[in-house]
Amino acid sequence: MNLLGQIALLFGKLSLLAVGGANSTVPEIARITVGQKHWLSASQFSQFYAIANTAPGPNVMIVTVIGAHVAGVAGGLVATAAMVLPAGITASIVAALFDKHREARWRRLAQAALLPITAGLVLAAACLLARQSDTGWLPAALTFATALLTWRTRLHPLWLLGAGALAGLLFL
Amino acid sequence: MPQTPPARPKLSHKALFGGFFMAGIMGFGGVLPIIRRVIVDERRWLTQMEFNELFSLCQSLPGANVVNLSFAFGAREAGVSGAAAAVTGLLAAPVAIVLGLAGLYARYGAVAPVRHALLGLAATAAGLALGSGLRIAVPILKIPRNVLLAAAVYGLAFGLHLSLPVIVLLMLPLSLALAWRAVP
CB A75 within 8 A of CB A48: no
pLDDT at B1: 42
Q: Nearest by CB to B99, which of A22, A58, A76?
A: A76
Q: A136 in contact with B at a CB cutoff of 8 Å?
A: no
Inter-chain contact B130–A84, Cβ cutoff 8 Å? no
Q: How far apart are CA A79 and CA A72, in angstroms?
A: 11
Instruction: Domain ranges for chain B, please list them.
Output: 7-108, 110-138, 141-184
The structure's pTM equals 0.87
Q: What is the pLDDT of residues A76-104, one digit of tens each?
A: 999 999 999 999 999 999 888 876 666 67
ipTM for the whole complex:
0.87
Of B109, B124, B168, the CB nearest to A142: B124
> For A52-76, what is the mean pLDDT?
93
Domain range list for chain A: 3-133
Chain B residue numbers touching A106 (CB-CB < 8 A):
none
Mean of all residue pLDDT scores within chain A = 91
pLDDT digits over B55-66, tens only?
Answer: 878 877 889 889
**What torsion do the CA atoms of A30, A31, A33, A35 make, to the nearest 10 degrees?**
120
Least CA distance to B86: which residue of chain A? A88
B144 at interface of A, judged by CB pairs closer than 8 A: no
- Which pLDDT band, with edges at 50, 70 and 90, does B174 fall under? very high
8 Å CB contact between A52 and A64: yes
Best residue of A41, A99, A129, A138 to probe chain B, by most B CBs closer than 10 Å: A129
Q: How confident is the model at residue B2, as a pLDDT? A: 45
